[in-house]
Chains A and B, each alone.
Chain A
Amino acid sequence: MPDETKGNTPPASPEKEQQPVSKPPLPSTPSVAKPAVTVPPKPTAPPPPPKPAGPVPVPWESEMVSRLRERFGSGIREASTYLGQSYMIVDRSVVYEVLQQLHDEEEFNYLVDCTATHYPQRPQPFEVIWILYSFSRNERIRVKTAVGDGEAVSSTVALWSTANWLEREVFDMFGIRFEGHPDLRRILLPEDWKGYPLRKDYSIIQQDREWVQVNLGIESGQ
Chain B
Amino acid sequence: MSDPTKTLPHSPLDLDEREHTFLDANELVLNMGPQHPSTHGVLRVILKLDGEKVRGTECIIGYLHRGVEKIAEHRTYTMFNPYVDRMDYVAAVSNGLGYCEAVEKLLNIEAPPRANYIRVILTELNRLASHMLWLGTHALDIGAITPLFYTFRDREEILKIYEKYCGARLTTHAFRIGGCQYETYDGFEPDVKKFVDFVTPKIDEYEELLTTNRIWLERTKGVGVISGQDCIDLGVTGPVLRASGVKWDIRKAKPYAAYSKFEFDIPTGPNGDTYDRYLVRIAELRQSLRIVRQAVEGIPEGPIMAKVPKVLKPPVGEIYHSIEAPKGELGYFIVSDGSTQPYRVRVRPPSFVNLQALDKMVRGQLVADVVAVIGTLDIVLGEVDR
Q: A interface vs B, CB < 8 Å?
A: 1-2, 5-6, 8-9, 12-13, 16-17, 37, 40-41, 43-44, 46-47, 51, 54-55, 57, 82-83, 85, 109-113, 115, 117-118, 129, 131, 135, 138, 140, 142, 160-162, 164-166, 169, 173, 187-190, 197-198, 200, 202, 204
- Take A109-B232, A113-B348 as given contacts and tell me if A47 and B313 are in contact as well, using a CB distance cutoff of 8 Å: yes
> Which A residues lie within 8 Å of B343 (CB)?
117
Verify B106–A83 contact, CB threshold 8 A. yes
Interface pair A2/B79, CB less than 8 Å apart:
yes
Smallest beta-carbon distance B355→chain A, Å:
8
Give 1 or 0 for each of B341-379: 1 = CB within 8 Å of chain A CB. Answer: 101101010001100100000000000000000000000
Q: How far is the CB of A141 from chain B (nearest CB, A)?
A: 10
Q: Which of B311, B335, B353 is within 8 Å of A43, CB to CB?
A: B311
Q: Are A40 and B310 in contact (CB under 8 A)?
A: yes
A117 touches B335 (CB 8 A): yes
**Which of A138, A162, A190, A197 contacts B235, CB < 8 Å?**
A162
The answer to whether A188 touches B62 (Cβ under 8 A) is yes
A160 to B236: give the CA distance in the assembly, Å. Answer: 11
**Contact partners of B311 in chain A: CB under 8 A:** 5, 40-41, 43-44
Given contact pairs A44-B311, A165-B353, A188-B65, A82 touches B317 in the complex (Cβ within 8 A): yes
The 8 closest A-B CB pairs, nearest first, are A162-B235, A188-B62, A13-B74, A113-B348, A40-B311, A115-B346, A43-B310, A188-B65
Tell me the minimal C-beta distance from A70 to chain B in angstroms. Answer: 27
B interface residues (Cβ-Cβ under 8 A, vs A): 61-62, 65, 67, 69-70, 73-76, 78-79, 105-106, 108, 232-236, 246, 248, 253-254, 309-311, 313, 315, 317-320, 322, 329, 331, 333, 335, 339-341, 343-344, 346, 348, 352-353, 356, 385-386
Contact across chains for A135 and B78 when beta carbons are under 8 A apart: no
Which B residue's beta carbon lies closest to that of A199? B70
Query: Which residues of A lie under 8 Å from residue B356 when comparing CB positions?
Result: 161-162, 164-165
B347 to nearest A CB, angstroms?
9
Give chain A residues whose Cβ lies under 8 Å from the Cβ of B73. 16, 200
Do A55 and B76 touch across chains, with their CB atoms under 8 A apart? no
Query: Is B70 within 8 A of A82, CB to CB?
Result: no
Bound CA–CA A40/B190 (angstroms): 41
Q: Within the complex, which residue of A17, A83, A129, A200 is in contact with B317, where a contact is CB–CB below 8 Å?
A: A83
Task: Contact check, B69 vs A135: say whether CB atoms are below 8 A apart.
Answer: no
When A44-B311, A198-B70 are in contact, do A112 and B254 touch as well, CB less than 8 Å? Answer: no
Most buried by A among B69, B75, B106, B235: B235
Q: A6 to chain B: which residues have CB within 8 Å?
A: 79
